[in-house]
């Protein structure tokens, strides 16, 4: 089906047809398992700090010493060890601009590779240092956020779409996979799918990560609504139908768990954006598993199996013990 026909379907409220088709194609491709993805967050600091939807943009003026906004490396590593135990994938290592330097990120990624057995995706902004990375990295993520060049310039003034594209092309030349992130609800329209599809083709993207807007207090979006579940599903289904082989990850917040089943049927291979330790074992964690169950897929990993949390001691480095214990205690507490 041509892109314009798909856009018309969304605009004519025939999204259910797209979802049904995307579901059939996904199953035909063998996508019968859904992954739980966890972004490992490096720091609260971002030197750009001017993307108008971003929580970090509300923090920049409050942070006096950017070094103190960095997370402790052992906490990041302990989190990766727990992800491994629970069967979660590391979505990527994510950090704002000018927080950790390249050598530090490489060292963290190398240790995570050792802990999880899987090389790591990066989402660390536009960088010229990709050639410093090696086998510890599987791919590079470009934070496109909004696939509409005019809106992009207004919403993310310091990271141009063409610079992101250039970095992704270089990543491809170096043998890394390529991903992009897209946030829905920033003012885009179904017509912007044409640009998004073109961008994916031009930069040979292997993985698309969708999020829905989380309206942060203190940003211009604080009173905006999150996008409708049907609209979100229609966009995802379009990408699945256009690119049967691409990996699609969809983020949804705890207040929108009912999106999950619909997004999986629309073609998502994985889901993300959950507060792992807070939700683990609670009715919210159980709800995620229910959502997957009713799509007829299996879930890789667990949101509820306490036995998988394991020992308070790290299997890799005793310096992680204190954080492993902290995260296990947090997971066992019922926070809701
Ligand atoms: S570059 Fe990334 S972390 Fe920094 S303000 Fe923009 S979205 Fe937020």
What is the average pLDDT value for the chain, to the nearest integer? 95
Q: Could you tell me the domains of the chain?
A: 3-332 (3.20.20.70)
Closest C-alpha among 55, 49, 57 to residue 158: 49
Residue 236 exposure: Cα atoms within 13 Å on the Cβ side: 38
Ligand 1 nearest-atom number relative to CA 159: 1
pLDDT tens digit string along 11-65?
999 999 999 999 999 999 999 999 999 999 999 888 888 999 999 889 888 888 8
pLDDT tens digit string along 121-154?
999 999 999 999 999 999 999 999 998 999 999 9
Assess whether the C-beta atom of 159 lies below 6 angstroms from ligand 1: yes
Q: How far apart are CA 265 and CA 271, in angstroms?
A: 12
Assess whether the C-beta atom of 57 lies below 6 angstroms from ligand 1: yes
Q: How far apart are CA 188 and CA 183, in angstroms?
A: 9
State mean pLDDT over 257-271. 97
The residue contributing the CA closest to ligand 1 atom 8 is 54
pLDDT tens digit string along 187-236?
999 999 999 999 999 999 999 999 999 999 999 999 999 999 999 999 99
Q: How far apart are CA 21 and CA 241, in angstroms?
A: 8
Q: Is the pLDDT of residue 256 over 80?
A: yes
pLDDT at 295: 98
Assess whether the C-beta atom of 56 lies below 6 angstroms from ligand 1: yes
Distance of alpha carbon 192 from the chain centroid: 20
* pTM greater than 0.85: yes
Ligand 1 binding pocket mutation candidate from 41, 52, 54 (most atoms within 8 A of CB): 54
Assess whether the C-beta atom of 93 lies below 6 angstroms from ligand 1: no
pLDDT at 286: 96
Assess whether the C-beta atom of 40 lies below 6 angstroms from ligand 1: no
pLDDT at 135: 97
Three-class SS state of 11:
helix
User: Taking a C-beta distance cutoff of 8 angstroms, is the pair 183, 216 a contact?
Assistant: no
Tell me the backbone φ, ψ of residue 122, rounded to 5 degrees. Answer: -110, 145
pLDDT at 68: 81
């Amino acid at each position: 089906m041509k892109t314009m026909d798909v856009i018309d379907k969304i605009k004519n409220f025939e999204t259910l047809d797209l979802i049904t088709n995307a579901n059939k194609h996904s199953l035909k491709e063998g996508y019968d398992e859904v992954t739980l993805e966890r972004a490992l967050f490096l720091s609260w600091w971002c030197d750009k700090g001017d993307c108008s939807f971003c929580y970090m943009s509300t923090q920049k003026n409050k942070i006096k010493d950017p070094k103190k906004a960095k997370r402790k490396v052992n906490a990041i590593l302990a989190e990766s060890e727990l992800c491994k135990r629970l069967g979660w994938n590391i979505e990527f290592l994510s950090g704002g601009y000018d927080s950790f330097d390249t050598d530090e990120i490489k060292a963290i990624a190398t240790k995570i590779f050792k802990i999880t057995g899987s090389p790591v995706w990066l989402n660390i902004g536009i960088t010229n240092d990709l050639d410093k990375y090696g086998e510890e990295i599987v791919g590079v993520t470009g934070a496109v956020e909004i696939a509409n060049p005019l809106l992009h310039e207004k919403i993310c003034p310091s990271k141009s779409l063409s610079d992101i594209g250039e970095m992704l092309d270089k990543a491809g030349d170096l043998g890394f996979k390529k991903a992009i992130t897209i946030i829905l609800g920033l003012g885009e329209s179904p017509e912007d799918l044409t640009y998004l599809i073109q961008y994916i083709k031009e930069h040979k993207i292997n993985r698309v990560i969708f999020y829905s807007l989380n309206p942060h207090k203190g940003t211009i979006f604080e009173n905006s609504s999150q996008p409708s579940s049907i609209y979100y599903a229609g966009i995802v289904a379009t990408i699945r139908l256009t690119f049967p082989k691409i990996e699609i990850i969809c983020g949804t917040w705890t207040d929108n768990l009912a999106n999950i089943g619909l997004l999986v049927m629309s073609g998502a291979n994985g889901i993300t954006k959950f507060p792992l330790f807070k939700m683990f074992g609670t009715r919210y964690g159980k709800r995620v598993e229910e959502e997957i169950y009713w799509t007829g897929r299996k879930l890789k990993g667990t949101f509820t199996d306490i036995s998988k949390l394991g020992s308070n001691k790290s299997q890799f480095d005793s310096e992680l013990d204190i954080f492993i214990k902290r995260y296990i205690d947090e997971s066992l507490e019922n926070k809701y």
